[in-house]
A and B are shown apart, each in its own frame.
Chain A
Amino acid sequence: MSQKTLLIVDDVESLRDVLASVLEDEGYIVFKAGNGIEGLAVLKSKKIDLLITDIFMPEMDGFELSMEVRTKYPQAKLIIISGGGNVRSVEKANKFDAVQAGQDLLNPDSILKKPFAPSELIELVESVLS
């Protein structure tokens, strides 16, 4: 079985790096991007099996990126990491209610809410890719 390729998009570098390390330890090939635009650039050049993206980012956010992926790269699986600890308030505060909209429109394979345990992440990635 060939190694699966993952793309992690998050604007917080330290979190992005450690996420990548954790998943690399599990045997995946991991690419990283700081925002949606960088993420799209990676998608153009590499075949990505799973996109893990944060929603709120500068330049191009996770919502827009996911839309692109859903239309241009339908084979790629999608996990959305939602905003932060206070998901409810984020949902309410945001005009287009990104998480709910993400569920309805993008139909992501899973949503991971911060804070999550590393084992939770690993199990989820495994199940989405199997």
Chain B
Amino acid sequence: MFFIFIPNLGYLFIVIIINTCSMDWSSLIKKVKTGEYDELELVYKTYRMEFIKWMMKSYKCSIDDAKDVYQQTIITFYENVINDKIQSYNSSIKTYIFAIGKNKFYTLTRDKNRFNLEIDDTIKMVSDDRNIKEDNLNKLEGVEKSLTILGDPCKKILELYYYHKKSMNDIAMELGLKNPETAKNMKYKCLKRLRIICQKEGV
């Protein structure tokens, strides 16, 4: 009988090691919220291998599809973190990410009736959270184009503020501005300029 318990003990031991080594919620949220892309990249790398193999095994999809699902999953995870949408911290980060992945997989397959994720599909996927219809997609792409015309640092300020939910303080720091007030004024000017470009572009 003793032999049967040895692998279980080993498994338990490894689980304990993994749990103690992996990130905990509070430090992760702090890092992802205040840090730059590196922090999210670390999350991406941490669960990548296991997630993609799990996706391929459990949902019988190709490696490229599994990677697409994972990237979408990480984006949703990121958005939930920065928007304070995570309601329970009882489950592990891994469990949480895998749960998002499961839903992502079903959303992506249900909406497309196929699992061929081309560039166009990616655009649709990117916007699917806000239920943006096809005709609105043109408008969004118009704004995107206008943002490129606008260029940095305006583009960056607007993205940091509206998408990444950075505070004016963080934006000022990141862009080397004098103070949050300067950042706030700059953000307004940039938005105004973007509006003018969009009007010129007929968006």
A interacts with B: no
Binding site for B on A (CB under 8 A): none
Binding site for A on B (CB under 8 A): none
